Amino acid sequence: MADRGRGSAPRGARGGSTRGGRGTPISSGAALDKPKREAILDLSKYVNERIRVKFTGGREVTGMLKGYDQLLNLVLDEVEEEILEPQIHKRALGLVVLRGPTITLLSPVDGSEEIENPFLAPE
């Protein structure tokens, strides 16, 4: 095929100095200028503390928080799963990695207590 006045680069080649093919130069400091996003939850105060985690689907585990990331993926040690059906009992799981998107509730075991529902209409 004949070259149609698009320069001497071979067909399909892409230059490294532009972004998106629009001729806009890539600035090396553009990614560095953005402020760092802060995490919604500060889990650092719960590291090496026992926490309770509930998942979509109803599963519930308790364990010692060993690590986490910005996606709320968690690493727990000494994990026990509470199985509610057909009768309540616990199953030891050991060291586990929990995926953040499946977590619906996260709470410390120590320092929390169950209260009555304040929105329940009095009878």
Q: Is the sign of the CA dihedral 67, 69, 71, 38 positive or negative? A: positive
CA 94/CA 96 separation, integer angstroms: 6
Listed in sequence order, the residues at least 6 apart from 60 whose beta carbon sits closer than 8 Å to its beta carbon are 52, 53, 54, 81, 82, 84
**CA end-to-end span of the chain:** 84
CA distance 55 to 17: 46
**Helix (H, G, I), strand (E, B), or coil: what is residue 49?**
coil
CB burial of residue 41 (10 Å; 0-12, 13-18, 19+) = exposed
pLDDT surpasses 70 at 15: no
**27 or 113: which leads in pLDDT:** 113
What integer pLDDT is reported at residue 23 of this predicted model?
Answer: 58
Q: For position 121, what pLDDT does the model report?
A: 82
Instruction: Give strand pairing partners of 75.
Output: 67, 97
What's the pTM value of the predicted model, to 2 decimals? 0.59
Residue range 31-84, pLDDT digits in tens: 567 776 665 678 888 999 999 999 998 899 999 999 999 888 999 999 999 988
